[in-house]
């Protein structure tokens, strides 16, 4: 029995290592490509191991592209989306959970049903609406369609439903209203959930590609994922520069994930409906 269990552990470890190598190889190859010259990248002599350390592609990406503008656009839009989504989602969830008004169940049913609507199905009407509002090639055009995140409302509502009623009654007896309950009582109780949802919302908005790609046509207004598509050369594809820009674009998200790894994992579990 012990030998069989040891063999199973060794087999699972080997499978995990192989899967890890397969997963990380594209990142490794992107890094190796980014530190080579363009001539070396397309050379037949280029192997799997790094054979030179050339940062000219990174210098070129930083100073000869609109990378700084793309960073500013991505950071600005992602922060605004995250803040607005959390505040509006929290307020909507509080109303659905703690307030009584006609159509409350119907409204919550609509929020749940919104999961069944593919985002791609809304692209055309959203684009027409943004065009009518004059928000093409503006931050508003990027931000507005990404402000509806049903999972944030649902997670907050589940938390508010679980708060003991005695706590609410005590605050009401002391003269506190809905504002006091939400921002002075409920919010301090769920800082962990708020942080987790904020991190995953920021990452999702940072990585968004389809909608910003459609609504932005000028290079200086592009976000990082869209801007990568503009990094090319007049005589062909500049592989080293593309890889360097891609790695620089992913760096903030990777750093944020490494710092808040526990919160990101918690957010994924929450959004998947798994309760700890």
**What average pLDDT does range 69-74 have in this prediction?**
90
Of the pLDDT bands very low, low, confident and very high (cuts 50, 70, 90), residue 264 is low
CA distance 51 to 20: 24
Is the pLDDT assigned to residue 83 strictly greater than 90?
yes
Lookup: tokens for 253: 């998200």
Any residues with CB less than 8 A from the CB of 199 and at least 6 apart, and which?
A: 256, 260, 263, 264, 267
Rg (CA), the chain: 24
Domain of 151?
65-230
Lookup: tokens for 109: 């049913």
Q: What is the pLDDT of residue 177?
A: 78
Asked whether 94 and 163 are in contact (CB, 8 A), the reply is no
Q: What is the mean pLDDT of the chain?
A: 83
Q: What is the pLDDT of residues 221-249, one digit of tens each?
A: 999 888 887 776 544 567 888 888 888 88
Domain assignment present for 121: yes
Domain assignment present for 91: yes
Across 24-28, 85-89, 108-112, 186-190, least confident range: 186-190
Domain count, the chain: 1
**What average pLDDT does range 45-67 have in this prediction?**
81
Of the pLDDT bands very low, low, confident and very high (cuts 50, 70, 90), residue 276 is very low
Of the pLDDT bands very low, low, confident and very high (cuts 50, 70, 90), residue 141 is very high
Domain assignment present for 31: no
CA distance 231 to 227: 7
The CATH number of the domain where 206 resides is what? 1.10.3720.10
Domain assignment present for 26: no
Domain assignment present for 168: yes
Domain assignment present for 2: no
Q: What is the pLDDT of residue 76?
A: 93
CA distance 212 to 136: 10
Q: CA angle, 271 as apex, 21 and 25 as ends, to 5°?
A: 10
Domain assignment present for 252: no
Domain assignment present for 79: yes
Q: What is the pLDDT of residues 146-194, one digit of tens each?
A: 998 888 888 888 888 887 777 777 877 777 777 888 888 888 877 778 8
Is the pLDDT assigned to residue 275 strictly greater than 70?
no
Sequence-distant contacts of 133-139: CB under 8 A, at least 24 apart: 135/215, 136/215, 136/216, 136/217, 137/215, 137/216, 137/217, 137/218, 137/221, 138/221, 139/73, 139/76, 139/77, 139/80, 139/221
Neighbours of 191 (CB within 10 A): 9
CA distance 25 to 36: 17
Show the DSSP H helices in the chain as ranges: 2-34, 38-41, 56-63, 67-98, 104-113, 123-132, 139-143, 150-162, 165-173, 178-180, 187-189, 191-207, 210-215, 224-227, 239-259, 261-271
């Amino acid at each position: 029995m012990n030998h069989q269990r040891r063999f199973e552990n060794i087999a699972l470890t080997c499978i995990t290592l192989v899967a890890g190598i397969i997963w990380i190889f594209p990142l490794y190859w992107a890094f190796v490509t980014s530190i080579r010259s363009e001539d070396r990248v397309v050379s037949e002599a280029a192997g799997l191991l790094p054979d030179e350390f050339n940062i000219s592609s990174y210098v070129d990406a930083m100073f000869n592209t609109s990378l700084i503008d793309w960073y500013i656009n991505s950071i600005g839009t992602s922060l605004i989306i995250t803040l607005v989504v959390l505040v509006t989602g929290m307020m909507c969830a509080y109303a659905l959970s703690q307030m009584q008004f006609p159509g409350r169940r119907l409204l919550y049913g609509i929020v749940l049903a919104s999961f069944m609507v593919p985002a791609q199905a809304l692209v055309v009407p959203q684009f027409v609406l943004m065009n009518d509002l004059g928000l093409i090639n503006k931050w508003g055009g990027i931000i507005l369609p990404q402000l509806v995140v049903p999972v944030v409302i649902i997670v907050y509502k589940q938390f508010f439903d679980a708060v003991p009623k005695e706590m609410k009654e005590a605050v009401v007896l002391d003269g506190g209203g809905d504002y006091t309950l939400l921002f002075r009582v409920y919010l301090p109780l769920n800082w962990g959930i708020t942080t987790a949802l904020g991190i995953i919302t920021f990452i999702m908005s940072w990585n968004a590609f389809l909608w910003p790609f459609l609504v932005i046509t000028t290079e200086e207004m592009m976000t990082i994922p869209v801007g990568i598509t503009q990094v090319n050369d007049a005589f062909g594809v500049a592989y080293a520069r593309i890889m360097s820009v891609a790695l620089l674009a992913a760096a903030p998200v990777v750093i944020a994930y490494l710092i808040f790894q526990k919160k990101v994992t918690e957010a994924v579990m929450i959004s998947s409906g798994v309760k700890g």
